[in-house]
Chain A
Amino acid sequence: MDSHLISEFRAIVGDAGLVTAKEQLRTYECDGLTLFRVVPELVLLPASSEEMQAVVKLCYRQRIPFVARGSGTGLSGGALPVKGGVVIGVSRMNRILEIDLPNARVVVEPGVTNSAITAAVSGRGYFYAPDPSSQVVCTVAGNVAENSGGAHCFKYGVTTTYILGLDVVLSDGSLLHLGGKTMDAPGYDLVGAFVGSEGTFGIVTQVTLRIIRKPESVQTLMAAFNSSSEAGAAVSEIIKSGMFPAAMEIMDRLALEAAEAAVHPNYPNCQALLLVELDGSAREVELLMEKVGPICTACGAWELRLAKSEAERVAVWKGRKAAFAAVGRISPNYLVQDGVIPRTALPRVLGEIDRLSAEAGLRVANVFHAGDGNLHPLVLYDRRIAGQEERAMVLAEDILRLCVEAGGSITGEHGIGEEKKHFMPVMFSEADLEAMQRLRSAFDPYGLCNPTKMFPGTDTTYQRPIAYEPHPIEKAGLAQRY
């Protein structure tokens, strides 16, 4: 990049907010989807909303494309830099600005981590509900961009449910205040439109979100089954009985093995494990949990284990949240997908996945949010064996196709990003995509915000969907993928 331009950027953010060294720039070459890599021209780390505006204005003047970045934990390549562009990180804007407990509102800068919000209010009996597995490191800005979910969104909803206000810098550098602390600001719900826009509308500089009261009581049951289909049937029966659990998760044999190897949660040794978490008033949780056990048993569960203490409950969830990364212990390479299906299609789709997996001669581990039908099939393979990677990619895409055919979605949490943009036409018509482009062009007429993502046919240097590879930070043992 032109040195004059670099000094202009330096004048805005100072040395602390500027990354120019080749080796340091490489840290930003990818996000959680590591096979796509582009070294950015420059990384800018503004420390305030004013600096953010000035940086974006300069990009706008020079028509430099930019990609916003939180902690880089995204799994679809949304924070992949674009060729000839800069990365704008929000990590230095990480203050919690206001905690308004009576109204259950928190105002934060975009670089605050998801867990930090809960940590700040948990002592006073509140929590921030969306709980992506990467919550310890991922930022609110990234959560807003991806509309992140988590294990508990069956009952509590996803990020968009909790975001009330956003200050955003658009590609021309203008700062807009969308929504606010009160509900239902008149006009179009631009906060709703912005959440999940994967960094293509602008950059968030301030977020007003809702926290909620911690439930009085939480109980987590583990039920061991001989198959995922049986566990899936139990999920349907629980829902049919009128209960509304906070979370229902299924892990299959492979996922269990992996989790056990990684964090030793001491799960029952079974083919499929169902976790059912109930929360609410102590009395109600107790009474309803008495019903959940027999339902599971009637569906074939041969062991029921209730997490008795908070420590046990934490261990159960730690195992579940570590399952993804842990699969790395039982397979040299794997692909991660997160298609969604209507819950009633679970037994059929799981059967189909088994069939496809057998046909391809590849193992598929399943960890999924059964309550909301969000699958996480992990296609295991060994790159060193000729042809396996290609077969794995075909299989992963076949599974996504299956999800769409069942009336579902190609992604429940991870986003489209770079990874799945070529798959958008499987789910959307040309008119649907055209409508999305119209909205995008209203926010970003010159296509400077995270261009080349989300839509098929946008300029790309890569054609293929991509396998997981450890990030350098993971290899160094400084981070773990969930």
Chain B
Amino acid sequence: MNENQYPIEIAWTDLEAIVGREYLWPATASDAIDGFQPSKVIAPGSAQEVAKVLQYCSSAGVAVIPRGGGSKLALGNRPQKADLILSTERLNRVVEHVWGDMTVVVEAGCTIEGIQNAVKQHGQRLALDPLWPERCTVGGLIATAESGTLRIRYGAVRDLVLGVEVALPDGSLIKVGGKVVKNVAGYDLTKLVIGSLGTLGVITRAVFRLHPVPVATATYSTLLSNAPEAAKLVLALLDSHVIYTGLQLRATRPDHIALDVRLEGIPESLQDQFAKLGKVATGFTFTESPAEVWDARQKLFANAAGAAVAKCSVLPSQLGALCEAVFRQAKQSAATIVAQGTGIADVRFEAADAKALPRILDDIRAELWALDGTLVVQQCPPAIKESLDVWGALKDALPLMQEIKGKFDPARTLNPGRFVGAI
């Protein structure tokens, strides 16, 4: 589109006029998205500037890739077009922390670690533990709706975001939701934005609800020798009165599965919970583990050159079936599973030849589909994206999703081609 309209050099000059010269610079190889090289990086200094940039790009046919800390740029299909990286790095303020309300208002470029540091002085925390909190920004967290190990107790991003401010491709800046815990005025556009991979608008600000930091925390682990046994124990814990804030399985082999349970609360209650844990898990020995076991998800993404990491979602009762399917399909490739009691599992596959990965992923996806489960590839060698849809098939709502995309971003300015159904 842009090629037919006018030379992109003019666009750069115009965009410079919006943000100032020093905030538009040439992109380098490290800015590439799945091997796709954008021309420039722009860093607007306010939400209003973000809106203006989007409005301009939308009318000029410049494709925009929004970027926070860049920690999850591997997620998504290959972009069909990527001219400009829109960085939220200058929108990095914690705007307001009203501890009495247990809410925090932050700009999109704030890191999760930055928020935690700001709110912990008042004994509070954002009960989300995404990957790489030191790099992961609010905007990226919301756009990818990533959930970690705390979800089983505190809910997902959608449960903890009270409102967002979003810049739309038509240049408007909208506020959805609010600062209060309960709010049913108008449509819940917040939910639409969460997990939309930056395809509808660019998040500029968010309001989160917070939780108290627990007085004491302890993690206990046990080893299990097969997947059905592990799944059974998970179900027993889900059905119990043990108040865990993390429930995780880690497996590198079908016959060697660790189960981690995190307990939080006041010290007296922790002892009580541990005693309960023993009663529910009779016959298993739990020993205290370091808190690092909860970083297992993050470790899956390390040295990922020849590896793929997929997020699988099944029912808790199907975790055993998931483990079996993964190890069966992986065959001679190495596989590592880090599954949460919610039924969401991150799985890493490592093949000597990356070309073998799409087949493995597709086969497992087909097995999960039969269980009403899903598999989304989080990270993989860009080359294999040619022969793989990272999102997989959708049921019957894709046309409606495309319709919605068309209403918010008719020129397909934002992340074109990266989301489901090449939205």
Among A154, A184, A410, A454, contact of B181 (Cβ-Cβ < 8 Å): A154
Complex-state Cα separation, A431 to B185, whole angstroms: 15
Q: Decide: A103 near B316, CB < 8 A? Known: A187-B401, A193-B191, A342-B98.
A: yes
Instruction: Say yes or no: A374-B187 contact (C-beta < 8 A), given A176-B397, A177-B397.
Output: no
Instruction: Determine if A183 and B343 form an interchain contact, defined as CB atoms under 8 angstroms apart.
Output: yes
Q: Are A373 and B175 in contact (CB under 8 A)?
A: no
Q: How far is the CB of A244 from chain B (nearest CB, A)?
A: 6
Q: B364 to nearest A CB, angstroms?
A: 14
A410 & B159 in contact (Cβ 8 Å cutoff): no
Q: Report whether A283 and B269 are in contact in the complex, using a CB–CB cutoff of 8 Å.
A: yes
Shortest Cβ distance from residue A254 to the other chain B in the assembled complex, whole angstroms: 23
Q: At the interface with chain B, which of A109-117, A421-429, A467-475?
A: A421-429
The answer to the question of B392 belonging to the interface, with a C-beta cut-off of 8 Å to chain A, is: yes
Check B269 against A186 for contact (C-beta < 8 Å).
no
Near B by CB (< 8 A), chain A positions 229-245 give 236, 239-240, 242-244
| Pair B186/A244 contact, Cβ less than 8 Å | no
* B243-A186 in contact (CB<8A): no
Query: Are B184 and A182 neighbours in the complex by a CB distance under 8 Å?
Result: no
Cα(A66)–Cα(B268), bound, Å: 57
In the complex where A192-B188, A410-B185 touch, is A186 in contact with B180 (Cβ < 8 A)? no
Q: Are B192 and A284 neighbours in the complex by a CB distance under 8 Å?
A: no
Given A182-B343, A193-B188, A244-B212, also A435-B179 (CB < 8 A): no
> With the chains together, A189 CA to B401 CA distance in Å?
9
Chain B interface bracket (under 10, 10 to 19, 20 to 34, 35 or more): 35 or more
Stretch at the interface among B85-93, B100-108, B250-258, B380-388: B100-108
Q: B374 and A434: CB pair below 8 A?
A: no
The docked-state distance in angstroms from the alpha carbon of A413 to that of B181 is: 11
Among the 9-residue stretches B10-18, B288-296, B402-410, the one with 4 or more Cβ atoms under 8 Å from chain A is B402-410
Contact of B394 with A186 in the complex, beta carbons under 8 Å:
yes
Whether B32 is near chain A, meaning CB under 8 Å from some CB there, is: no
| Contact yes or no, B184 A342, CB < 8 A | no
With A343-B101, A443-B400 in contact, do A284 and B272 touch (Cβ < 8 Å)?
A: yes
By secondary structure, the B interface counts as loop
B145, B241, B243, B401: most-surrounded residue (chain A CB, <10 A): B241
Contacts of A416 in B (CB 8 A): 184-186
**Interface residue B168 (Cβ < 8 Å from any Cβ of A):** yes
CB distance from A324 to the nearest CB of B (A): 17
Q: Does B376 contact A (CB under 8 A)?
A: yes
Q: Mark A138-175, 1 if CB is under 8 A from B, else 0.
A: 00000000110100011001101100000000100001
Interface residue from A180, A191, A281 paired with B241 (Cβ < 8 Å): A281
Complex contact A182–B315 (CB within 8 A): yes
- CB-based contact B404/A435 at 8 Å: no
Asked whether A432 lies within 8 Å of B174 as measured between CB atoms, the reply is: yes
- Measured CB to CB, the nearest residue on chain A to B122 is A240
CA of A478 to CA of B235, assembled, Å: 43
Task: Tell me which of B195, B273, B376 contacts A188 (CB under 8 A).
Answer: B195
Report the count of interface residues on A (CB-CB < 8 A). 91
Say yes or no: is A185 at the interface (Cβ < 8 Å to chain B).
yes
Contact B188 A454 (CB under 8 A): no
Task: Quote the shortest CB–CB distance from B183 to chain A (angstroms).
Answer: 4
Q: Say which residue of B158, B185, B194, B313 sits within 8 Å of A411 (CB atoms).
A: B185
Distance in angstroms between the alpha carbons of A104 and B235 in the assembled complex = 10
B131 to chain A, nearest CB (A): 15
Which chain A residues border B394 with CB–CB below 8 Å? 185-187
Interface residues of A in 398-432 (CB under 8 A from B): 407-416, 420, 424, 427-429, 431-432
Complex: how many Å from CA A333 to CA B91? 51
Interface residues of B in 145-162 (CB under 8 A from A): 145, 147, 155-156, 158-159
Once the chains bind, are A436 and B189 in contact (CB under 8 Å)? yes
Answer whether A343 and B158 are a contact pair too, CB < 8 Å, given A105-B315, A192-B192. Answer: no
CB–CB B420/A242 < 8 A = no
Contact with B along A95-110 (1 / 0, CB 8 A): 0000011111100000
B180, B183, B187: the one within 8 Å of A440 (CB): B187
**Beta-carbon contact of B186 and A189 below 8 Å:** no
Identify which of B175, B178, B313 contacts A183 (C-beta below 8 A).
Answer: B313
Residues of A within 8 A of B273 (CB): 281
B278 at the interface (CB under 8 A from A): no
| B102–A239 CB distance below 8 A | yes
Name A413's contact: one of B100, B173, B184, B397 (CB within 8 Å).
B184
Q: What chain A residues lie within 8 Å of B172 (beta carbons)?
A: 431, 434-435
By the criterion CB–CB under 8 Å, are A411 and B184 in contact?
A: yes
Once bound together, how far apart are the Cα atoms of A283 and B311, in whole Å? Answer: 37
Q: Which residues of A contact B186 (CB under 8 A)?
A: 416, 424, 427-428, 432-433, 436, 454
User: Does B218 reach chain A (CB closer than 8 Å)?
Assistant: no
The chain A residue with its CB closest to the CB of B240 is A213
Q: Given that A184-B374, A239-B100, A442-B407 are known contacts, is A190 also in contact with B400, CB under 8 Å in the complex?
A: yes
Known: A178-B397, A287-B266, A431-B173. A442 touches B239 (CB 8 A): no
| A residues in contact (CB < 8 Å) with B | 100-105, 125, 146-147, 149, 153-154, 157-158, 160-161, 170, 175-178, 180-193, 195-197, 213, 215-216, 236, 239-240, 242-244, 280-284, 287-288, 340-344, 369, 372-374, 407-416, 420, 424, 427-429, 431-436, 438-443, 454
Closest 9 CB pairs of A and B: A192-B191, A242-B212, A431-B172, A284-B269, A412-B182, A344-B100, A409-B183, A438-B407, A372-B181
What are 27 A-B pairs with beta-carbon distances under 8 A? A102-B316, A105-B315, A149-B184, A158-B182, A176-B397, A177-B395, A182-B313, A182-B374, A183-B156, A183-B343, A192-B194, A193-B187, A193-B188, A197-B187, A213-B240, A342-B98, A374-B182, A409-B182, A410-B185, A413-B182, A427-B185, A427-B186, A432-B174, A433-B186, A436-B189, A442-B403, A442-B406
- Known contacts A409-B180, A412-B183, A420-B185; can you find 4 more A-B pairs with CB under 8 A? A236-B100, A243-B212, A369-B182, A411-B183
